Amino acid sequence: MVSSIDEVWKKRPLIISGPCSAETEEQVTETAISLAATGKVDILRAGIWKPRTKPGMFEGVGTQGLGWLKAAGKKTGLPVTVEVATSKHVEEALRFEIDLFWIGARTTANPFSIQELADALSGIQVPVLIKNPINPDLELWCGAIERILKAGIEKVGMIHRGFSSYGNTLYRNAPMWQLPIEMKRRFPGMLMICDPSHICGNRSLLLDVAQKSIDLDFDGIMLESHRNPDQAWSDAAQQVTPEKFSEMMDKLVWRSVHSESAPRTLLTQLRTQIDLIDDDLLSLLSQRMKLADQIGHYKKEHNMTILQAERWNGILERAMAKADELGISSEFIIRYLNAVHMESIQHQYAVMNG
């Protein structure tokens, strides 16, 4: 018997795994059986229609794959999920009684497509997980969620799969954790799943990213797995075998917001200290801006530019030299000083131009 999606939806952590793409019936079935044997997966995934950047790349096996996946679900007792991007996909996936849909990052970025999906889903109760758009635009992500909610879908969740950027970065898609954190604030209680596979783009970083998401109170993980990852027809570098998936799940440390055993008083004391330090930091920042105002008056009087590149470099270098010693990452210091510097420029601009 296949577990009901309504029951599975409530499970925490919620674990989704399976191949990036369905390739053959054997590949789907074998991967599903090995995954189910670990006892650590709640929902099986497989991409049936693949949104590919260039023509001529593998674009998915299409409708026949729905039958393979559904059969694998029945064999293993697991609900199944596929990506839908058009009303035709929704129609086909419903015909094969797919239990849960996810909306891909490229689709979330396109309000026309999202509205088409919302219209196709109207009046139907299939849970929908919405990936973040490829670009770091929170409003697009929110808009997609709102459209799907407006269609009357009751079970809606989010998947954080990182954001694309130009040039080589450590990640295939930068995690930009502050964005999903903000989404958790805007949609309290809404399911938030992390997709380390598409964030990392390679196997070596998966565990770190998965652990980070747990530490940030995410509700589950979607991880791509394949019986023979190196031979996968899509996303080969980031997929893991079901055995590796199982090892990873064992290595993760699951945490929760509250703990029965932890002394709350210690946490409260530490938080009080943090609040006091934040108060101090805010008042120091305010003092710093008052000095910037004075500098603004001075520069105005002497007809000097606000930006003095040499001075700004000096500030950065001095802080970077200290950062390491103080156990603060240089990446953070740069972000912090950039923000402070921009605010200081605003203040001086206001002074100089009234």
Which positions lie near Mn ion, rule CB under 5 A?
A: 20, 235
Q: How many CA atoms lie within 13 A of 346 on its CB side?
A: 8
With 0-12 / 13-18 / 19 or more C-beta atoms within 10 angstroms meaning exposed / middle / buried, residue 103 is buried
Q: Which is nearer to ligand PEP, 89 or 347 (CB)?
A: 89
DSSP-assigned states of every residue in 316-348: HHHHHHHHHHTT--HHHHHHHHHHHHHHHHHHH
Q: Which is nearer to Mn ion, 90 or 222 (CB)?
A: 222
Residue 131 in the binding site for ligand PEP (CB under 6 A): yes
Residue with tokens 């909306």: 103
Residue 105 in the binding site for ligand PEP (CB under 6 A): yes
Interface of this chain with ligand PEP, residues 186 to 215, rule: CB under 6 A: 198
Q: Given candidates 160, 161, 184, 227, which one binds ligand PEP under the rule CB under 6 A?
A: 161
CB 145 within 8 A of CB 117: no
Rounded to whole angstroms, the Cα distance separating 279 from 261 reads 30
Per DSSP, what are the bridge partners of residue 21? 47
Rounded to whole angstroms, the Cα distance separating 196 from 181 reads 16
Residue 223 in the binding site for ligand PEP (CB under 6 A): no
User: Which of ligand PEP, Mn ion, none does residue 157 bind to, with CB < 5 to 8 Å depending on kind?
Assistant: none
Interface of this chain with ligand PEP, residues 253 to 282, rule: CB under 6 A: none
Supply the minimum distance, in Å, between the C-beta of residue 53 and ligand PEP. 10
According to DSSP H, which parts of the chain are helical? 5-9, 25-38, 64-76, 87-95, 105-108, 111-121, 138-150, 178-186, 196-200, 206-215, 242-251, 264-301, 309-325, 330-353
Rounded to whole angstroms, the Cα distance separating 177 from 217 reads 12
Q: Given candidates 5, 16, 20, 145, which one binds ligand PEP under the rule CB under 6 A?
A: 20
Supply the minimum distance, in Å, between the C-beta of residue 82 and Mn ion. 12
Rounded to whole angstroms, the Cα distance separating 330 from 345 reads 22
Q: Which is nearer to ligand PEP, 59 or 343 (CB)?
A: 59
User: Which of Mn ion, ligand PEP, none does residue 105 bind to, with CB < 5 to 8 Å depending on kind?
Assistant: ligand PEP
Q: Given candidates 47, 60, 65, 296, which one binds ligand PEP under the rule CB under 6 A?
A: 47
Say if residue 136 is preceded by a cis peptide, omega within 30 of 0. Answer: no
Q: In sequence order, which residues have a C-beta less than 8 Å from that of residue 73 and are 6 or more positions away? A: 2, 32, 44, 79, 80, 99
The residue nearest Mn ion at its CB is 20
User: Which of ligand PEP, Mn ion, none does residue 104 bind to, with CB < 5 to 8 Å depending on kind?
Assistant: ligand PEP
User: Which of ligand PEP, Mn ion, none does residue 161 bind to, with CB < 5 to 8 Å depending on kind?
Assistant: ligand PEP
Q: Which is nearer to Mn ion, 19 or 79 (CB)?
A: 19
Rounded to whole angstroms, the Cα distance separating 354 from 348 reads 10
Q: Which is nearer to ligand PEP, 19 or 296 (CB)?
A: 19
Q: Which is nearer to ligand PEP, 232 or 306 (CB)?
A: 232
The residue nearest ligand PEP at its CB is 104
Q: Which is nearer to ligand PEP, 101 or 292 (CB)?
A: 101
Contact footprint for ligand PEP (CB under 6 A): 20, 47, 104-105, 131, 161, 198
